[in-house]
Chain A
Amino acid sequence: MNIDLLLPAIFFGLSVSGILFLVSLGISIGFGLMRIINMEQMVYYTFGAYMAYTMVSVTGSFLLGIIAGILVAAFLGFLVETQLLRRVYGKELMFTMVVTFSVFLIGIGIIQYTWGLDPKPVSSPIHTMIPILGVQMPLYRLFIIATALVVYVLIQIMLNKTIIGKAIRAGIENPDQVQGLGINIRRIFTVTFVVASGLAGLGGSLNAPLTMTGPYMGFDMLLFAFITVILGGLGSIKGTLVSALIMGQVISVGGTIWSPLAFVAPFIVMFCVILWRPTGLFGVAGKAFGFQE
């Protein structure tokens, strides 16, 4: 493999990382804070992508599509959290997994019902190419990378500087203690969940021009997102960012070396991580992490 192919692959990998980071944040936080495995995050991702498609084909404005994607995803997240997930907090992990998985199935069903089974193409809103280090790079992918970085910085600021962010961090450590301090942890859960699902919607609408928007697009992304979260360590946002960067490169560079690797290489990474380092890169071994007690 020559260097001409390697550099674009790395840049493309960065944009894949951006998407992965946005969509897997919800799973990571959901596990760290609420102790549930929310597989239905990918519903918001798929809805985001479909909103982008609808807005682009109706109004022609991609920006509107992104906004609609975020809003719809956040609203769906609010609905699911307040109506359903409240009943599963504190239940065993397997139960939450199955419940959220059936929500995921319902979401797929609604999408099939609304938009049909055929994949919908969304054309890229920006066609400009920008030369970086002698490589022609689509501006749109740079835009994705920049968005993901901005989101990361905003989340760090929110977690470290605001009261609600501090409450979230404390909640990840010990939810009961936070409740004992007189903070309404349930409201914190809702806020976090809505933000996370909004970000998944953002990821979906950003990813719509890069992939085919279809009802099953969430399935592949679900597995990739879980690999990202597990590699980074459940509940760690920094870990999610780092592992998203790694996974983006694994997918992109691996796919450049031999195209089927783009699909299977992440699974090989997941296989090795679970067997040899189940806490992930930044995970902490404790009561919620790693092997069975």
Chain B
Amino acid sequence: MTRLIKASYGPLVLVFFFLMARYIFPNKMTFIIELAIFSIYVMGNNILYGYLGMVSFGQPFYLGVGAYATAIYLAHIGANPLIGMLLSLAMGLVVGLILGPAFIRLRGDYFALINAATCAIGMFTIEKLLLPITRGDDGLWYRSRMSQIPFLDIRMPDKFFVFALAIFLIVLILYNFMDKSALGVSFRAIKDNENKMKFLGYDTFKIRWIGFSLASILSALAGSLYAINFGFVNPSLAEPHRAAEVLVATLIGGAGTVFGPFFGTLAFLGIKDLVSRYIAHWELAVGILTLLVLFRFSKGIWGNTEAIINEKIGRKKNRTMEKLLTDKAAT
């Protein structure tokens, strides 16, 4: 429990800044909401890329699964957004558990490409095969059908902001907790040296499977939040083309760090917002920034900042990992 409380310090500071930003830039509300949602999405990809070292070109699919689970529920069955969100989480878990075993045994490049194929096939299924349910390209509209949840009327943008921020805070605290826990350490250990991990007696397949499912759940959660936020969903949310966005945001922020996804999202969405105002599109600036990060600042924005902070405080890095390894050696 104390560890959970300890893990919530950083996220609380971040959320405090969120609230400040909300009152300093009141007309940037949509941007701030998207920042919170996209961060959750990037966190999911960060588990795959940053912790486990697996590149996936199909993350939009998992986002789409979550978005459509909520949307179909809200448009056809019920009216409570919270139940829709729970459904999305369940769908994310199911998809992760089913696809995981088949995918994670593949080598890196095949893993990336089969995810791209899954994304294309999955979106095709949603767009064309489930046409009567999803209405294809026209998308589903259900804003008027949504009911309010207790305490909060999340149909209003400023109320939804509180809701999204609360979800973001919970996810971030759990994420930070996971980062420090044995699970997070074993994720990183697999990325470092999987054979050694196997040799130490860990079931690396199971750990990867957990990571894959977690990533899928987080993406589905982000999709569900998008669905509730927009009040409508159409297939363009989860086009295979958009796989680049989440990958690039993960890289820029700092792969394998807790707050990296947030800063990556901030940088990515910020660039997208600024650049598209002056130049046509964002690809050029983001591509150059990514190359720069890859070759010069391999830890990304937050990774490098964190390194500087740690050096200043003089805290030993990877303390948990050393502790874990010595514990293992002792037993």
Contact = CB atoms under 8 A, between A and B. Distances in A.
A102 B294 contact: yes
B106 A98 contact: no
B280 A291 contact: no
Given A260-B128, A275-B114, A292 B105 contact: yes
A291 B287 contact: no
A19 interface: no
Nearest to A219: B241
Most buried by A among B110, B241, B285: B110
A55 interface: no
B295 to A, nearest CB: 7
Given A87-B295, A113-B279, A98 B284 contact: no
B7 to A, nearest CB: 29
A102 B248 contact: yes
B166 interface: no
Given A106-B283, A112-B280, A291-B105, A270 B55 contact: no
Contact of B287 (A37, A106, A223, A271): A106
Contacts, number: 125
Contacts of A278: 106-107, 110
Interface residues of A, number: 44
B284 A113 contact: yes
A264 B128 CA distance: 11
B139 interface: no
Contacts of A99: 291, 294
B20 interface: no
Contact of B280 (A87, A113, A227): A113
Given A103-B287, A112-B283, A274 B114 contact: yes
Interface stretch (B67-75, B118-126, B154-162): B118-126
A290 interface: yes
B109 A37 contact: yes
A216 B241 contact: yes
A216 B251 CA distance: 22
A2 B290 CA distance: 51
A274 B53 contact: no
A267 B109 contact: no
B121 A271 contact: yes
Given A94-B55, A98-B55, A99-B294, A263 B120 contact: yes
Contacts of A87: 295
B195 to A, nearest CB: 9
Interface residues of B, number: 40
Given A216-B241, A274-B117, A106 B107 contact: no
A89 interface: no
Contact of B281 (A101, A107, A109, A223): A109
A151 interface: no
Nearest to B129: A260
Interface in B202-248: 240-241, 244, 247-248
B24 interface: no
A271 B114 CA distance: 6
Contacts of B109: 37, 93-94, 97
Given A97-B55, A263-B120, A105 B286 contact: yes
A105 B55 contact: no
A226 interface: yes
Interface in B238-288: 240-241, 244, 247-248, 251, 279-288
A271 B117 CA distance: 6
Interface of A: 37, 84, 87, 92-95, 97-99, 101-110, 112-113, 116-117, 215-216, 219, 223, 226-227, 230, 260, 263-264, 267-268, 270-271, 274-275, 278, 290-292
Given A84-B291, A105-B284, A264-B120, 10 more contacts: A94-B54, A103-B287, A105-B248, A105-B283, A109-B286, A113-B284, A117-B281, A264-B124, A274-B106, A278-B110
13 contacts: A94-B53, A97-B108, A97-B109, A98-B290, A102-B294, A109-B282, A109-B285, A223-B116, A230-B110, A263-B124, A271-B117, A271-B118, A278-B110
